[in-house]
A and B are shown apart, each in its own frame.
Chain A
Amino acid sequence: MNRRKLVGQFCESLCRGAAFLVLTVLFFILGFILMKGIGVINWTFLSAPPTDGMTKGGIFPAIFGTIALTFFMIVMALPLGVASAIYLNEYAGTGRAYRVIRAGINNLAGVPSIVFGLFGVGFFILFVGRQLDRVLQTGLLFGQPAMLWAGATLAVLVLPVIIVSTDEALKAVPQSMREAAYALGATRWQMIRRVVLPQSLPGILTGSILSISRGAGETAPVLFTGAAYFLPKLPVVKLWGTIPMVNPMEQFMQLAYHIFILSTQSTNVQLTRPLQYGTALVLLVLTFMLNLGGILLRARFRKQRRRG
C-alpha cells in the first residue's frame, strides 16, 4: 500500500485513540462517583446539616455556602473581568504596555490556586480587612475569614480566565463590523455597546461560565479565607430584622472543602466514605447545571442574534 496513505491512517487512528481514551477516563470517573454516591442521596442528605460528628445527616449548609460563594464571586469577577477585557481590546492599543499586561494576565491564569488562597489571607483579610476595622473602629469584623473575602479571592482566581476568554470573544468580531459602525458616525462606546458586545456576548458568557464553574469547585483558595469545618447555623442575617440575606462577613461551609474534611479530618474516615461520594456527586451536578445554564443561555443568544 501507498506509504503516505499508511501514515495518514496511522495518525488518524492515533487521534481517534486519544479522543477515545479521554472520553473513557471521564466516563469512568463520572460513573464511579455516580455509582458510589447515588446511594446516600435523599431529601435528608440535601436538606439537613451534618450530625453525629459528620458521620450522618446531610450537607445542606455546604450546598448553600457553595451557591452563595459562587454568587459573590460572579458579582465581583464578571463586571471587572469583562470591563478590563474591553479596555485591553478596544481602548488600550497594541503598544508595549499592552503586550506586557496581556502576558501578565496569561501567566496569572497559570498560578496555582493555593497561592491565590495565601494572597487572599494576606491581602484581603490581613491588609484590607484589618485596615477597614481600624478605620471604621469595628473591632474585629472585617479582619477575619469571611464569605466576602473568600468570594473576592475566588474572583481574583477566575479573573484572568474571564479576561482572556472575553478578549478572545471580542477579537472574534470582524474588523469590518467596527468599520461599519464607525462609518455611520458611531462613537467608540456606541460601536462597542451596539456592535461588538452583542456579537461577542455568547462567547463571553461561555468562557465566563466555564471559568466560574471551575472556581465554584475550588478548595485551596477558600481554605484560609472563609470556609468553616462545621457551622451550627447558616450564614444568614435578617436585614432590618425581616429580610433574610446572606451575611458576607460570616464564615460558611462549602462542598469542595467539605469533601476534603470528610476524607482527611473526620473522626471516622471509613464511615464517612459514602458521604464523601455523595458530596462529590452533588458538587458535580451543581457544576454541570452551571455549565448547562451557560450552554442554554448561549443557544438563546445565538437564536436571538440570528433573528436580530
Chain B
Amino acid sequence: MISQPAPAASETNYINEFGGLKSWLLTGDHKRIAILYLISVTFFFFLGSVAAAMIRWELTAPAGVVLESDTYNKVFSSHGVIMVFTFLVVAIPSVFGNFFLPIMIGARDMAFPRLNLLSWYLYMAGGILILAGMINGGVDGGWTFYTPYSSMYSNSNVTLVLTGVFIIGFSSITTGINFIVTTHKMRAPGMTWFRLPLFVWAHYATAVVIILGTPVVAITLLLVVFERAFKLPIFNPELGGDPVLFQHLFWFYSHPAVYIMILPAFGIISELIANFARKRVFGYHFIAFSTLAIAGLGFLVWGHHMFISSQSMYQGIVFSLISFLVAVPSAIKVFNWTATLYKANIRLQSPMLYALGFIGLFTVGGLTGLFLGSMGTDVHLTATYFVVAHFHYVMVGGTMTAFLGGLHYWWPKMTGRLYAEGLAKANAIIVFLGFNLTFFPQFIVGWLGMPRRYHYYYLAPEYQVYNIMSTLGSGFLGIGFLLPAFYLSKSLMNGRKASANPWGAHGLEWEIPSPPPSTNFLQIPIVLDEVYDFDPVTEYEQDRAQQAIEHAHEHPGMMDSHDETASKLEEGGH
C-alpha cells in the first residue's frame, strides 16, 4: 500500500488533541465514540456478570441458597436482558467496528459522525431505562418476553425494560446504517471489495442483518408495551389474538441477532488468524461469501426456536433443514481458519491464544446447535441446560472470547500502550479452562434433564455435582474477566509505549501511529496490495532476525547465537 508519510513526531493523537469531558461527550470522532462504548459495555457486562454469579451461587444447592424464587426469576431475566441487549449485540460492532472499520478501509471517519454519537446516547438512554426497571422492582419472564405472560400477567417492570430495549434497537439501527454507507462509499482509492479485510466484510454483513431484523423486533416489543399500557390487543388470546405470533416475530429478529453477535466475532478471528499465522487467510473469498450466506440464511431459520410451540410438523421439517444449512458456511469458516494455520509460522501471542480458543469453543457451540436443530433430539432437549450450554458456547466461548482477543490485539493501537503479555497469555488460558469447566457440565446436566430457569432441583439431587463444577468454573471465568481489567488499566498508567505496529501485522490500521491521530490518515492512502499480503520469505527472514535479537539479549556473551537460533528454527519449523 502507498502508505503514510512516516508517522509524525508530534505527539498529537485522538486522545490528547482535545481536552475536557465535553470534548468527549460531544465528539464526532468514531474512535472516541468507540472508547465511550468500550467503557459503557464494560460497565453493563460487569452488571450482567454479577447477575450470573448470583445464579451460579444459588444453584450450588438443590434447594437454593439465598434467593427467593421470585428474586431468582428477576435475576436470571436481568442477566439475559443485560448480556444480550446491552453487551453481546452491541459490544464488538460498536467498539471495534466503530474504531477500526473506517481506518481499515482508509477513511477519515464514519459517513455520519453525528448519527454515530446519537447511537451512543440512544444506547445509554436505553441502558439506563433497563437498569431503572431492574433496580425499581425488577423484571421477570426472561429475556425473550414471551406473550401472554409479558403482556398480560407479569406485574414486574416489563414496560420500562422493553422501552429501553426498543431504544437500544434504534442505537443498533443507526450504527448499522453508518456501517453500510461507510463501507459502500468511503473506501480509499484501490480498496476494492475483495481487498477489504474480513473484519469489514463481517461488519457489513452484520449491518445488513441489523437493518433488516431490528425494526421488526422493535415494533413487536412496542406492541407488547402498547398492550400493557393502552390495552392495544395484538397478542391477546382472549380476543382471538395469537400469542405464538409474538414468538414468530421475536425470533425473526432474535435468531438473526445471534448472527449480529457472532459475525463480528468471526471478523476479529479472521484478522487474528491471518496476522498471527503470518499468512493470507486460506479461501478469502469463501470466508467473505460465507459471511453473507450466514446473514441470509439466518433470516430463514427462526422456527427452530419453536419446534414445540404448536408449529406444524412440516413447518418444523423445513426450519430444521434450513437450520442445518447454516452449518455449511459456518464450517467453511472453521475449516478455512484451520487450513490457514497449516504449515504457518504461528506466533502464540495472547490475541492468538484467544483466537485458537475461539475456534475450539465455537465448533462445540456450533455442533451442539445441530443437535438442537434436529427435531427429534430437540423435543428432549428443549428448555434444558443443554440449550443454555449451547448458546453460552457460542455467545461466551465465541463472542466474548473474540471480544477479548480483539481487545488484546488492538489495545496497543487504541491506547498506545503495551500490556503485560505474560499475564495476558495466562489469562487466555484461565478463560478457556474456566469457561469449559463452567459450561461443559451443563451439557451433561441438560442431557440428564435439568430444565433451564428452574430455581430448585431438590427432586433430582444428582444434578448437584454438575452445578457445583459449573459454579466453580464460573469463579475462574470471573477471574479471567477481572484480570484483564486490572492489567489493561495498569498499562494505561505505566505500560510501555506501543510502536505503530507492535505485532508486525498487516492492515491500514497498523500503518498509522498508535494511538491514531484524530483524522486517522494525514493523507488518504492508495491501496495497491491485496489484503493480508504476507510474503513468506520476508516473514521468515524477519522472524529469524527478530529471534536472533531476542536471543542475543538473553545471552549477551554468545557470539554464534544467530546461527543457533536459525538452525533451531529450521528444526522446529516443520
A, B in one complex: no
